[in-house]
Homo-oligomer: A and B are copies of this chain.
Amino acid sequence: MGDLTVLIHCADQKGIIAKTTDCIHQHHGNIVYIDQYVDCTKSAFFMRVACEFEDKTSVWYFTKAFKEGPSLQFTMSVEIYTGTDIPKMALFVSKYDHCLYDILSRYKSKEWQVHIPFIISNHPDLNHVADSFGIPFYHIPITKQTKAEAELKQLELLRKHQIDFIVLARYMQIVSPKLIDAYPNAIINIHHSFLPAFPGAKPYHSAHERGVKIIGATSHYITDELDAGPIIQQDVASVTHSNSIADLVTKGRDLEKIVLSRAIKLHLQHKVMVYGNRTIVFN
């Protein structure tokens, strides 16, 4: 079969949709879903097309024709994904287990089309969780002195397993530019606040101190600036004056795991496009 997801980004111009859909039509493709967005202030065009072709040969001819035709004509940046590619995802964790449990449960339930070849942690604490789900666990301790060396070990593992993207499931270390450069817009983090409120450490303490009536969680791509990367998903929960910091932490755990898992799913479905520091989420 020939299921394709085509992501297109270019300057806004007349005729992009017409030429693109015509090219699909000419190769006997069927459009299942089309999502499109124009940023009028920046004249930027974005589109995600899910389509089906009769066979792999049609896909091959369409791809060739599209790259030599509309893609060239409109100076597009294009990504094409087939339904048979299963992405490889690496998990980074520290000591908190709720996001890890949630992700591995979905993995075992086959909720997602993904491979998880291994888990990396700077602490040994969650080894038993990895074991109970049968996933290799690499304990790579990190100290100020060993940070550079530890990241080389991480990169080696990532490359050896041809990892496509990384999920920081409450990983309590700042990721260095070297790793970020190797995985641009491909490292998903979960931050336990409603960003941009309460970036950095101990957001639940700050939320309690400020007396907010709603707490949140934010999943975003990691960039060089801490907790300031493109936001993929956010969600919130009500709290009251009677909730202690410990209560916020407990309530927040459910938010964190749901918001992180939603972001992973959107990323896996190629529904997220990054533009500047914002995301277009076709959902």
Residues on A facing B (Cβ under 8 Å): 14-15, 17-19, 21-22, 24-25, 28-34, 36-38, 40, 97-98, 101-102, 105, 108-109, 111, 129, 132-134, 194-198, 210-214, 216, 230-236, 238, 240-242, 244, 250, 253-254, 258, 261, 277-281, 283
Tell me whether B36 and A33 are in contact (CB under 8 A).
yes
Cross-chain pairs A/B with CB under 8 angstroms, 11 sampled:
A14-B28, A14-B29, A18-B24, A18-B25, A33-B38, A98-B109, A101-B109, A210-B278, A213-B234, A214-B216, A241-B279
5 smallest A-B Cβ distances: which pairs? A211-B278, A101-B105, A18-B25, A18-B21, A197-B197
Most chain B Cβ neighbours within 10 Å, of A108, A213, A214, A216: A213
With a cutoff of 8 Å between Cβ atoms, the chain B residues found around residue A32 in the complex are 38
CA of A210 to CA of B24 in the docked complex: distance in angstroms?
Answer: 34
Q: How far is the CB of A53 from chain B (nearest CB, A)?
A: 11
Among B29, B37, B97, B241, contact of A280 (Cβ-Cβ < 8 Å)? B241
CA of A55 to CA of B89 in the docked complex: distance in angstroms?
Answer: 51
CA of A238 to CA of B230 in the docked complex: distance in angstroms?
Answer: 16
With a cutoff of 8 Å between Cβ atoms, the chain B residues found around residue A258 in the complex are 254, 258
Known: A24-B18, A105-B98, A278-B241. Contact between A211 and B198, CB under 8 A?
A: no
Q: 17 more A-B contacts (CB under 8 A) besides A18-B18, A33-B242?
A: A17-B34, A18-B24, A32-B38, A34-B36, A40-B244, A97-B105, A97-B108, A101-B108, A111-B250, A132-B133, A132-B134, A196-B198, A210-B278, A211-B279, A213-B281, A214-B235, A214-B236
With a cutoff of 8 Å between Cβ atoms, the chain B residues found around residue A197 in the complex are 194-197
Tell me whether A233 and B213 are in contact (CB under 8 A).
yes
Identity of the chain B residue whose Cβ is nearest the Cβ of A219 in the assembled complex: B213
Tell me whether B231 and A213 are in contact (CB under 8 A).
yes
Q: How far is the CB of A35 from chain B (nearest CB, A)?
A: 9
Identity of the chain B residue whose Cβ is nearest the Cβ of A193 in the assembled complex: B197
With a cutoff of 8 Å between Cβ atoms, the chain B residues found around residue A253 in the complex are 111
Tell me whether A212 and B195 are in contact (CB under 8 A).
yes
CA of A279 to CA of B28 in the docked complex: distance in angstroms?
Answer: 30
Identity of the chain B residue whose Cβ is nearest the Cβ of A26 in the assembled complex: B18
Known: A235-B214, A241-B281, A242-B37. Contact between A21 and B30, CB under 8 A?
A: no
Tell me whether B210 and A194 are in contact (CB under 8 A).
no
With a cutoff of 8 Å between Cβ atoms, the chain B residues found around residue A102 in the complex are 102, 105
CA of A101 to CA of B109 in the docked complex: distance in angstroms?
Answer: 9
Most chain B Cβ neighbours within 10 Å, of A38, A242, A254: A242
Tell me whether A281 and B240 are in contact (CB under 8 A).
yes
